[in-house]
């Protein structure tokens, strides 16, 4: 039910991937997904220049995934770093450029971490998520905030939006999930229609897991005899997290709305740490609170001038403490604040030509306090300005093009440093980065497109890079990524094998295939490098990486007889990411750490719908990550074996009007592979999750 | 349905294509990390050199490499080939490597342990010391600095632990300053660098002086900010490298005579190595190797080609060459350079990550070359399988336990002993008075592993209500390795050092001769001959150690002292710890601790020469022995 709404809103807001809907079948079941309220007369200009990878709605819920990070594994060109367990950090790296080149947006506003530039995607639950999209380069639409032009890869997370049918006032969702490692995960959501156009959403979730999963280390002698074989239980991996969200939505006319969104996340967790010889347990604890409130207002005037205003205030607190008696105690507190303002304008000059101009401003602060030494609190400030200009035009139905230029100016300040030690903190030097996007459709009647882009983007040094005690380097330059990408994409509707039961949102059997080739170059890469003196490290702009890759993906859904629907989703990535820093290095020309040459995934889903509307589904997924190296040097001592997991889930959904019941059983890592994504961080073996949900 | 087939065909093609692409390789069994030998030089030298590569924190990549200098071969991951069964290999962050006696000791900082190995780097034991950093040795004791003590303190003070190298257990601990690093011993004083390295902008600047007799900190000497290295030169002067604060306070070397500062040499000092009257100082900042005289502390320049190195790190000056390692960017393999004293580079070799610590050994080992240990057969039994010799001294149970029959020779008596005590038979063999012995073995060598290796059963018991008195007839335990590989116990014997080894009342060279002639006394209970009848000679002479008298009168009863540890037939068989032995206790004839990775033969002889009249002489009895960790098949 909420699904339609989402869909509608999606179309209204983003307009991607909707063009196939106009000829949707008028099957009674299909109508659930139909978009009666929206006219689907997409202009050529609104079609995608960059085709995003998308997971949404039911498909997203069907995956064996607990967090956003788990779901992102099903995208091509994405490498997930996963330290294991419910509480382990999970970050993504798009097309090997480094995780800090990827921006993550929550309902349209970027999530930030000025301290280390890292967004832990393991903390974002899928239960409240309607859609996850990944854009290589940037979002197709030039109507975006200036900052969105700034990242090399962009992940958009969109939470559920309320939808009410005529006469409905309240929707309630309740869900309970249990699973291995003492997972308990209740979730409650309430949507209230306050007036005809104003609605309120509330969502609350609690996650607990003791994180005690068994793992096994086994090695054999070259003869095949067992050298050692040990199974132990992961310790100090427990997590306790509470998430609450509140949204207020006011759609006061077709083109105008405002939204308020408040988010609060609190967690306490153990940091299980690396398993090394003689160490089976680590004692680090972490407390986090992430709070933000964001407001968005958008409207259109004169039917050609779109304007969007965004505001965000975020306040994040992290407390890190080490209880391991074998290590020196540490107890640190970090508080970050962020104020963000954005004003974006898009003007439609002609039906074939749009221009946009946007300005963003952000103010970040970080307070770092060592609670043991009770030193003065260190205080860091940053002012950032972004100004973007972009244009998009089309030549008939054949060509669509976008060009953008972004100016970025960042000013960092460390209040304890003398001006000379602050490096380039005084006057920010504006940096300009262009982006060019192009899409060619030789046969406008066919959904066949050749898309290409070139884009430059900067990854700015974080507070840690700049000022970390004895390690930071205040005169760091931003790291530059240059992307070149060509894509051939084809999408078609397949003749339905059944004219009766259609579950697919598009109401049709469909096939989409895309192959892309990319060449990226990252220069001035910020890396830790030892200083002349012993034990001392510093951050330097030292590093060049050349990335060549091919992504191939194919999605297909087939409506089969007897109300069966088969869905498949295939992804495959081949990439080389070669270190070209210095020919004198022993690792010159080697693949950079943790980038596999081969990776891919297969998802197969079979759904069946009964005549009265109950759904049953079986979903199988396979994820493969090929061999890779844990360090710069590709030697036998740094080699990491491939890993692959088979996951299975079974679900059913029953309507007992006016209530819907849903049950889901997932078995992950079905064959119990003992694997590591990051060396010395063992991953769970076979594990199970059960979910029971009620919707009203 | 036609379209259906088409679609399915298309789909199957896609599936096949993607399957080809998606399965480039599968996971296989994880094989142990290999040891790779690389020929690096044709210039032979004596012995070998161990290289401990630190590896980065959390990477578990501490690596012990070995160079056979005689064949000029560099073996990466030598430890791995010697100890493939060590769970998670050597460990995380190697921090120090030293030889003491016949053992090699490596500090593995983030694995919180000291790895004890024989000179071929075969694992003997590990000693758990939290956050251990560096070692120093003296008088059979090891002193280890650690960033934390056994009890954490709010001031975050470090500790120095004293470890008995015979028992490998911690004997004493003393609190020192902040983050103690290197430590050195001059006479009875231990000097410890308190670096304060974790305090960031508030480094420590003192040496803790510890009196080794009382094991207390007697004073603190202020030397300079952030002292990390301390070495003793040929004139017993201390060279302390102070790193400064990496900002305004510059690094320096402070030379001390005892508590007194002789001179301060302003120079960066990443590493230092003393050889004779020369102090080689590695200035990593300027990529220079500086030579100072220990006599006047004056600089005489040396020019080695360090400017081509990325990060000079480790340093060892030996009589034949200078070894300097380049740690590169710390996260990839380093390079070890060998220079002659004329400044020419002899060879270089690729190492593990962060090659840092060296240990020169006099022997050259071949990979898998030493096979003294017999391969374990598939039918390893933890119990005695063979008795090689049985030569009891005169005693009241001799010729009874086991029983002598007319015509029995030594071999027959050994066989009877086997019937009594081999394969867990549970019988009893009596060794008679002082010196009488039995030699037995198992169907495999007994490995020297962590903790106890062997249990020896007798017939001792405790006096009711007492832990310290009872019936104890202690026997000394000797072990031997079949060095000549002839399968016979004719190799060097090593005594397992028991509780009374260092007791002044123990005689270490005692001789006693028993003659057939003297076998006249009988007690009423045992009237058989007391002299072993199968012995052809008229007399038997034993030599060995003799323990003091065990017997005391308690409540009018003649009972024996129960010794704390280290003797056969001393504690009741129910006391598994008290009847257990650690091969690591082995000492040679000079009392020096010796490390045996395994033993092939065990000998037990009666260690007391004591006759209590009616109850007869004290004589060790043996009822069996158990290998505590027999090879598993």
Q: Which residues of A touch B90 (CB under 8 A)?
A: 277
Using the beta-carbon criterion (under 8 Å), do B63 and A637 form an inter-chain contact? yes
The whole-number pLDDT of residue B451 equals 85
Q: Chain B: residue nearest A574 by CA? A: B21
**Residue A418 to residue B316: CA distance in whole angstroms:** 41
Residue B211 pLDDT > 50: yes
SS (H, E, C) A392-403: EEEECCCEEEEE
Using the Cβ of A643 and the Cβ atoms of chain B, whether some distance falls under 8 Å is answered with yes
Those residues with Cβ within 8 angstroms of residue B324's Cβ, 6 or more apart along the chain or in another chain: B282, B289, B304, B306, B309, B312, B314, B315, B336, B337, B339
Chain B residues close to A325, C-beta within 8 Å: 130, 148, 152
**pLDDT for res A633:** 93
Question: Average pLDDT in the A278-306 region?
Answer: 92
pLDDT of residue A498: 53
Chain A residues touching B29 at Cβ < 8 A: 218-220, 224
Where in chain B do CATH 2.130.10.10 domains reside?
Answer: 37-361
H or E segment to which residue B280 belongs: strand B278-283
Nearest CA of chain B to the CA of A451: how many Å? 22
- What CATH code is carried by the domain that includes residue A44? 2.40.170.20
- B-chain CB neighbours of A635 within 8 Å are 333
Question: Average pLDDT for residues B511-526, to the nearest whole number?
Answer: 82
**pLDDT tens digits, A458-478:** 998 888 888 776 667 777 889
Average pLDDT over residues A64-91: 88
Q: Do A642 and B10 touch (CB under 8 A)?
A: no
Interface test with A, best of B58, B229, B286 (most A CBs within 10 A): B58
| Continuous H helices in B387-513 | 410-421
Q: Which helix (H) or strand (E) holds B106?
A: strand B103-108
Element (H, E) at B11: helix B2-22
Contacts B87 to A, Cβ<8 Å: 217, 228, 230, 277
Nearest by CB to B333, which of A586, A675, A679? Answer: A586
A329–B130 CB contact, under 8 Å:
no
Q: Is B22 within 8 Å of A627 when comparing Cβ atoms?
A: no
Is A588 a residue whose pLDDT tops 80? yes
- Which chain B residues touch A673 with a CB distance below 8 Å? 27
Q: Which helix (H) or strand (E) holds B3?
A: helix B2-22
Query: In DSSP terms, which residues pair with B256 in a beta bridge?
Result: B238, B261
Categorize the per-residue pLDDT at A20 as very low, low, confident or very high, splitting at 50, 70 and 90: very low
More confidently predicted of A420 and B32:
B32
Mean pLDDT of chain B: 87
Contact map slice: A 251-310 vs B, CB within 8 A: 273-279
Instruction: Return phi, psi of residue A146, to 5°.
Output: -60, -40
Residue B139 neighbours by CB under 8 Å, 6+ apart:
none
Q: Look up residue A59 and give its DSSP letter.
A: H
Three-state SS for B396?
Answer: coil
Query: Could you tell me how many residues make up chain A?
Result: 696
The Cα diameter of chain B in Å comes to 114
Does the CA dihedral A16-A19-A25-A31 come out positive or negative? positive
pLDDT in the model for residue B377: 40
Judged against a pLDDT cut of 50, whether residue B116 lies above it is answered with yes
Instruction: Give the number of beta-carbon pairs within 8 Å between A and B.
Output: 204
**For A257-283, how does the pLDDT look when each residue is reduced to its tens digit (9 = 90+)?**
999 999 999 999 998 889 999 998 888
d(CA A453, CA B170) in angstroms, rounded, equals 66
Task: Give the pLDDT band (50/70/90) at residue B522.
Answer: confident
Say yes or no for a CB contact (<8 Å) between A327 and B148.
Answer: yes
Partners of B313 on chain A (C-beta within 8 Å) are: 534
Q: Is A497's CB within 8 Å of B202's CB?
A: no
Substitution target from A84, A216, A328 for chain B, most B beta carbons within 10 A: A328
Query: Out of A511, A534, A586, whose CB is closest to B284?
Result: A534
Beta-carbon separation of B3 and A497 below 8 A: yes
- Phi and psi for A449 in degrees, rounded to 5? -140, 145
Residue that is written with structure tokens 């010794």 in the block: B563
A121 has a pLDDT exceeding 80:
yes
- Does B251 contact A533 at a Cβ distance shorter than 8 Å? yes
Range of the domain at A449: 2-695
**Token pair belonging to B599:** 């033993």
C-beta atoms of B108 and A277 within 8 A: yes
Does residue A418 sit at the B interface (CB-CB below 8 Å)? no
Mean pLDDT for B59-67 is: 96
What are the structure tokens assigned to A235, written together? Answer: 């310790």
- B61: which chain A residues are within 8 Å (Cβ-Cβ)? 637
What superfamily does domain B37-361 belong to in CATH?
A: YVTN repeat-like/Quinoprotein amine dehydrogenase (2.130.10.10)
pLDDT range class, residue A631, cuts 50, 70, 90:
very high
Q: What is the DSSP string of A452-508?
A: EEEEEEEE---HHHHHSTTT--TTPPPEEEEEEEEEEEEEEEEPPS-SS---STTSS
Q: Flag if A279 and B77 touch (Cβ within 8 Å).
A: no
pLDDT for residue B208 is more than 80? yes
Provide the pairing of β-strand A153-159 with A102-106.
parallel
Q: How far is the alpha carbon of A586 from chain B, nearest alpha carbon, in Å?
A: 8
Cβ–Cβ under 8 Å, residues A69 and A60: no
Angle at B579 between CA B574 and CA B582, to 5 degrees: 145
Residues 456-475 of A with CB under 8 A from B: 469-470
CB-nearest to A279 from B10, B32, B92 is B92
In the stretch 433-452 of chain A, residues with CB closer than 8 A to chain B read none
Q: Which of B58, B179, B243 sits opposite A533 (nearest CB)?
A: B243
Tell me, what's the pLDDT at A41?
43
Cβ distance B331 to A631 less than 8 Å, yes or no, reads: yes
Reported in sequence order, the residue ranges of B481-537 that DSSP labels E, i.e. its strands, are 493-496, 507-515
For residue A36, the model assigns a pLDDT of: 32
- In the β-sheet with B355-361, what is the strand arrangement from edge to edge? B36-39, B73-76, B63-68, B48-53, B355-361
- Interchain contact A223–B (C-beta under 8 A): no
Q: For residue B197, which residues of chain A lie inside 8 Å, CB to CB?
A: 535
- Predicted confidence at residue A470, as pLDDT, reads 61
Give every CB contact of residue B369 below 8 A, 6+ residues apart in sequence.
Answer: none
Chain A residue numbers touching B144 (CB-CB < 8 A): none
Provide the pLDDT for residue B372.
36
pLDDT tens-digit map of B392-449: 999 888 988 888 888 888 989 998 998 888 887 778 899 999 999 999 999 888 988 8
Q: B192: distance to nearest CA of chain A, Å?
A: 18
Tokens of residue A563, six digits: 């109300």
Q: From chain A, pick out residues whose CB is under 8 angstroms from the CB of B77.
A: 637
Radius of gyration of chain B, Cα coordinates, nearest whole angstrom: 30
Among B2, B13, B18, pick the best mutation site for testing chain A contact (most A Cβ within 10 A). B18
Those residues with Cβ within 8 angstroms of residue B584's Cβ, 6 or more apart along the chain or in another chain? B116, B124, B125, B166, B167, B168, B448, B453, B593, B595
CB contact under 8 A, B7 and A597: no
* pTM attached to this predicted model: 0.76
Q: Cα–Cα distance between B178 and B226 in angstroms, integer?
A: 10
Counting the structural domains of chain A, the total is 1
Which of chain B's residues have a Cβ under 8 Å away from the Cβ of A627? Answer: 25
A22 in contact with chain B, both atoms CB, cutoff 8 A: no
Number of alpha carbons in the 13 Å side-chain half-sphere of residue B167 = 14
Contacts of B28 in chain A (CB under 8 A): 641
At residue A331 the predicted structure's pLDDT band, cuts being 50, 70 and 90, is confident
Candidates B32, B111, B147; nearest CB to A278: B111
- Mean pLDDT for the stretch of residues B563-585: 89
For residue B157, the chain A residue with the least C-alpha distance is A328
- Give the residue with greater pLDDT, A41 vs A172: A172
pLDDT the model gives residue B24: 62
Interface predicted TM-score (ipTM): 0.88
Query: Which of residues 486 through 515 in chain A touch B, CB cutoff 8 A?
Result: 494-495, 497, 509, 511, 513
Encode B123-142: b = buried (16+ Cβ within 10 Å), e = exposed.
Answer: bbbbbebbbbbbbbbeebbb
Residue B52 has pLDDT above 90, yes or no: yes
Give me the half-sphere count of Cα atoms (radius 13 Å) on the Cβ side of residue B323. 23
Residue-level pLDDT at A293: 97
CA A271 to chain B, closest CA, distance in angstroms equals 13
- For residues B270 and B310, is the Cβ–Cβ distance under 8 A? no
The pLDDT value given to residue B1: 37
Q: Which of B398, B439, B616 is nearest to B525 (CA)?
A: B616
Interface contact A568-B330, CB threshold 8 A: no
Residue count of chain B, please give it: 633
Does the beta-carbon distance from B130 to A673 stay under 8 Å?
no
Q: Which of A 113-172 lie inside 8 A of B, CB atoms?
A: none
Buried b (16+ CB within 10 A) or exposed e, B5-25: eebeeebeebbeebeebbebe
Which residue has better confidence, B526 or B601?
B601
């Amino acid at each position: 039910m909420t699904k339609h709404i989402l869909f509608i809103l999606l179309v209204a807001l983003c307009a991607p991937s909707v063009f196939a809907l106009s000829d949707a079948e008028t099957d009674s079941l299909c109508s659930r997904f139909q978009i009666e309220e929206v006219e689907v007369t997409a202009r050529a200009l609104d079609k995608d220049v960059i085709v995003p990878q998308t997971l949404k709605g039911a498909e997203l819920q069907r995956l064996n995934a607990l967090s956003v990070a788990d779901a992102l594994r099903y995208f091509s060109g994405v490498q997930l770093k996963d330290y294991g367990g419910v509480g382990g950090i999970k970050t993504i790296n798009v097309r090997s450029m480094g995780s800090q080149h990827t921006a993550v947006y929550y309902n349209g506003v970027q999530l930030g971490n000025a301290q280390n530039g890292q967004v832990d995607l393991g903390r974002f639950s899928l239960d409240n998520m309607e859609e996850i999209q990944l854009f290589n380069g940037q979002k197709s639409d030039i109507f975006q905030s200036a900052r969105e032009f700034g990242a090399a890869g962009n992940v958009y997370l969109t939470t559920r939006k309320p939808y009410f049918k005529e006469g409905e006032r309240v929707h309630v969702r309740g869900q309970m999930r249990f699973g291995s490692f003492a997972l308990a995960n209740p979730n409650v959501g309430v949507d209230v229609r306050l007036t005809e156009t104003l609605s309120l959403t509330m969502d609350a979730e609690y996650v607990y897991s003791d994180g005690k999963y068994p793992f096994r280390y086994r090695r054999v002698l070259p003869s095949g005899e067992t050298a050692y074989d040990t199974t132990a239980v992961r310790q100090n991996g427990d997590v306790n997290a509470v998430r609450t969200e509140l949204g207020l939505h006011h759609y006061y006319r077709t083109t105008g709305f405002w939204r308020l969104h408040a988010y609060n996340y609190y967690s306490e967790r153990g940091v299980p740490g690396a398993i090394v010889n003689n160490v089976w347990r680590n004692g680090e604890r972490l407390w986090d609170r992430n709070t933000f409130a964001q407001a968005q207002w958008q409207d259109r005037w004169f039917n050609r001038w779109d304007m969007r205003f965004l505001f965000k205030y975020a306040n994040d607190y992290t407390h890190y403490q080490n209880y391991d008696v074998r290590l020196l105690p540490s107890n640190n507190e970090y508080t970050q604040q962020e104020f963000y303002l954005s004003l974006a304008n898009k003007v439609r000059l002609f039906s074939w030509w749009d221009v946009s101009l946007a300005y963003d401003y952000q103010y970040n602060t970080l307070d770092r306090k060592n609670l043991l030494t009770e030193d003065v609190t260190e205080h860091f400030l940053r002012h950032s300005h972004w100004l973007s200009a972009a244009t998009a035009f089309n030549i008939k139905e054949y060509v669509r093009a976008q060009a953008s230029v972004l100016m970025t100016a960042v000013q960092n300040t460390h209040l304890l440093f003398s001006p000379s030690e602050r490096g380039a903190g005084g006057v920010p030097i504006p940096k300009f980065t262009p982006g060019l996007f192009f899409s060619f459709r030789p046969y406008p009647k066919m959904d066949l497109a050749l898309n290409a882009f070139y884009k430059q983007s900067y990854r700015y040094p974080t507070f840690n890079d700049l000022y970390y005690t004895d390690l930071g380097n205040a005169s760091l330059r931003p790291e530059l990524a240059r992307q070149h990408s060509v894509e051939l994409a084809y999408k078609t509707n397949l003749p339905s094998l059944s004219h009766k039961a259609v579950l697919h949102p598009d109401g049709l059997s469909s096939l989409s295939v895309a192959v892309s080739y990319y060449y990226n170059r990252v220069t001035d890469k910020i890396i830790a490098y030892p200083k002349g003196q012993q034990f001392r490290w510093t951050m330097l702009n030292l590093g060049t990486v050349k990335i060549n890759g091919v992504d191939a993906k194919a999605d297909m859904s087939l409506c089969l007889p007897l109300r069966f629907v088969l869905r498949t989703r295939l992804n495959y990535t081949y990439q080389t990411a070669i270190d070209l820093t210095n020919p004198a290095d022993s690792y010159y020309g080697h693949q950079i750490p943790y980038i596999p040459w081969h990776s891919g995934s297969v998802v197969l889903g079979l759904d069946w719908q009964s005549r009265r509307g109950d759904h049953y589904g079986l979903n199988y997924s396979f994820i493969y990550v090929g061999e890779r190296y844990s360090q710069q040097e590709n030697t036998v001592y740094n080699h990491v074996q491939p890993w692959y997991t088979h996951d299975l889930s079974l679900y059913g959904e029953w309507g007992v009007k006016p209530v819907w019941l849903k049950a889901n059983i997932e078995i992950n890592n079905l064959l119990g592979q003992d694997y590591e994504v990051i060396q010395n961080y063992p991953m769970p073996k076979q594990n199970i999750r059960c979910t029971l949900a009620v919707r009203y | 349905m036609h379209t259906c087939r088409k679609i399915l065909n298309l789909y199957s093609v896609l599936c096949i294509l993607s399957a080809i692409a998606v399965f480039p390789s599968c996971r296989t069994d994880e094989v142990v990390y290999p040891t790779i030998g690389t020929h690096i030089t044709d210039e032979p030298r004596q012995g070998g050199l161990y290289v401990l590569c630190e590896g980065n924190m959390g990477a578990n990549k501490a690596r012990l490499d070995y160079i056979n200098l005689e064949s000029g071969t560099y073996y990466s991951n030598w430890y791995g080939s010697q100890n493939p069964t060590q769970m998670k290999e050597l460990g995380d962050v190697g921090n120090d490597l030293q030889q003491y006696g016949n053992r090699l000791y490596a500090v593995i900082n983030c694995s919180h342990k000291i790895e004890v190995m024989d000179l071929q780097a075969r694992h003997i034991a590990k000693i758990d010391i939290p956050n251990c950093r560096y070692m120093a040795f003296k008088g059979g004791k090891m002193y280890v600095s650690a960033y934390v003590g056994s009890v954490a303190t709010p001031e975050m003070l470090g500790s120095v632990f004293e470890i008995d190298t015979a028992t490998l257990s911690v004997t004493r601990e003393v609190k020192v300053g902040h983050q103690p690093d290197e430590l050195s011993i001059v006479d009875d004083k231990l000097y410890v660098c308190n670096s304060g390295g974790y305090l960031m902008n508030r480094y420590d600047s003192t040496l803790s002086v510890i009196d080794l007799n009382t094991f207390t900190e007697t004073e603190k000497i202020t030397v300079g900010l952030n002292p990390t290295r301390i070495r003793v030169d040929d004139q017993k002067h201390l060279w302390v490298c102070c790193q400064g604060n990496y900002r305004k306070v510059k690094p320096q070397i402070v030379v001390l005579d005892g508590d007194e500062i002789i001179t301060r040499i302003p120079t960066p000092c990443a590493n230092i190595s003393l050889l004779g009257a020369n102090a080689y100082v590695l200035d990593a900042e300027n990529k220079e190797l500086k030579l100072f005289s220990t006599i006047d502390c004056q600089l005489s320049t040396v020019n080695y080609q360090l400017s081509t190195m990325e990060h000079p790190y480790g340093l060892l000056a030996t009589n034949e060459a200078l070894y300097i390692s380049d740690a590169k960017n710390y996260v990839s393999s380093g390079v070890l350079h060998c220079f002659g004293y004329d400044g020419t580079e002899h060879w270089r070799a690729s190492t593990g990550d962060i090659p840092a610590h060296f240990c020169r050994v006099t022997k050259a080992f071949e990979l898998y070359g030493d096979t003294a240990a017999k391969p374990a057969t598939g039918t390893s039994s933890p119990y005695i399988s063979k008795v090689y010799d049985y030569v009891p001294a005169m005693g009241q149970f001799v010729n009874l336990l086991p029983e002598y029959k007319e015509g029995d020779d030594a071999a027959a008596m050994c066989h009877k002993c086997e019937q009594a005590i081999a394969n867990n038979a549970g019988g009893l063999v009596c060794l008679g008075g002082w010196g009488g012995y039995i030699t037995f073995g198992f169907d495999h060598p007994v490995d020297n592993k962590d903790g106890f290796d062997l249990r020896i059963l007798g017939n001792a018991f405790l006096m009711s209500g007492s832990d310290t008195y009872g019936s104890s007839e202690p026997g000394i335990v000797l072990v031997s390795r079949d060095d000549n590989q002839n399968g016979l116990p004719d190799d060097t014997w090593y005594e397992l050092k028991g509780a009374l080894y260092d007791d002044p009342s123990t005689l270490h060279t005692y001789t006693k001769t028993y003659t057939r002639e003297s076998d006249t006394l009988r007690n009423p209970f045992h009237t058989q001959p007391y002299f072993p009848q199968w012995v052809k000679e008229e007399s038997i002479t034993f030599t060995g150690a003799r323990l003091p008298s065990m017997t005391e009168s308690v409540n009018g009863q003649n009972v024996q002292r129960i010794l704390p540890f280290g003797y056969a037939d001393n504690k009741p068989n129910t006391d598994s710890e008290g009847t257990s032995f650690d091969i690591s206790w082995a000492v040679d004839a000079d009392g020096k601790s010796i490390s045996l990775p395994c033993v092939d033969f065990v000998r037990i002889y009666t260690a007391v020469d004591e006759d209590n009249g009616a109850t007869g002489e004290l004589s060790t009895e043996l009822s069996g022995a158990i290998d505590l960790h027999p090879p598993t098949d």
